[in-house]
């Protein structure tokens, strides 16, 4: 059972939102920003501090696709597979990323926690298709070759 003060960074987030139960979505967004996902022990802590049931907090955390209960890598790469991106060959881009990072449709994050690759239904940038994002920065008109270059650059950043 998590004790009060166990997560000072979460306490600061809760204080920012004045411990309002109605701010649960904003609180979870801030917690996710802090940890890059929603750790189960922190969800329990948030529930206790807000005097909510764990079931209520988990129901919010699992209802919205934007929340994740799994750890994410430093670089979150989202490959759009909406109609426009799919038609303009987003799958070879996804395959290139998975091959280069040793990932699959079941394993989304590298063991070193540097990269997570996900597909999304639509990023709403059809005119830029095929598109991917890295930590919300948009990369338009991607190809497998451009993807390799982008990945090379990101790996260099990791090693700096």
Q: pLDDT per residue over 91-111, tens digit each?
A: 999 999 999 999 999 999 999
For 39-82, what is each residue's pLDDT tens digit? 999 999 999 999 999 999 999 999 998 899 999 999 999 999 99
Our separate counts of H helices and E strands in the chain read 7, 4
pTM of the model: 0.78
Query: Is residue 109 within 8 Å of residue 115, measured between CB atoms?
Result: yes
148-156 mean pLDDT: 96
pLDDT of residue 74: 93
The phi, psi pair for 9, rounded to 5°, reads -65, -35
- Report the alpha-carbon distance of residue 156 to residue 160 in Å, rounded: 6
Distance of CA 62 to the CA centre of its chain: 13
Three-state SS at 152: helix
DSSP 141: S
Is 77:97 a contact under the CB 8 Å cutoff?
yes
User: Which pLDDT score, from 0 to 100, does residue 3 have?
Assistant: 77
pLDDT, residue 4, reads 79
């Amino acid at each position: 059972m998590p004790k009060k003060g166990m997560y000072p960074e979460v306490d600061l987030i809760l204080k920012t939102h004045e411990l309002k139960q109605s701010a649960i979505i904003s609180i979870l967004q801030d917690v996710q920003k802090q940890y890059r996902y929603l750790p189960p022990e922190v969800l329990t802590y948030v529930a206790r501090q807000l005097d909510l049931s764990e079931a209520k907090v988990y129901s919010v955390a699992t209802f919205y696709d934007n929340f994740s209960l799994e750890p994410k890598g430093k670089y979150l790469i989202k490959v759009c597979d909406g109609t426009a991106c799919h038609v303009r060959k987003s799958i070879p881009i996804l395959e290139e990323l998975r091959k280069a990072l040793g990932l699959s449709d079941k394993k989304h994050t590298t063991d070193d926690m540097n990269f997570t690759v996900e597909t999304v239904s639509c990023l709403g940038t059809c005119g830029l298709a095929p598109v991917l994002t890295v930590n919300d920065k948009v990369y338009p008109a991607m190809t497998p070759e451009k993807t390799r270059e982008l990945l090379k650059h990101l790996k260099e950043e990791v090693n700096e």
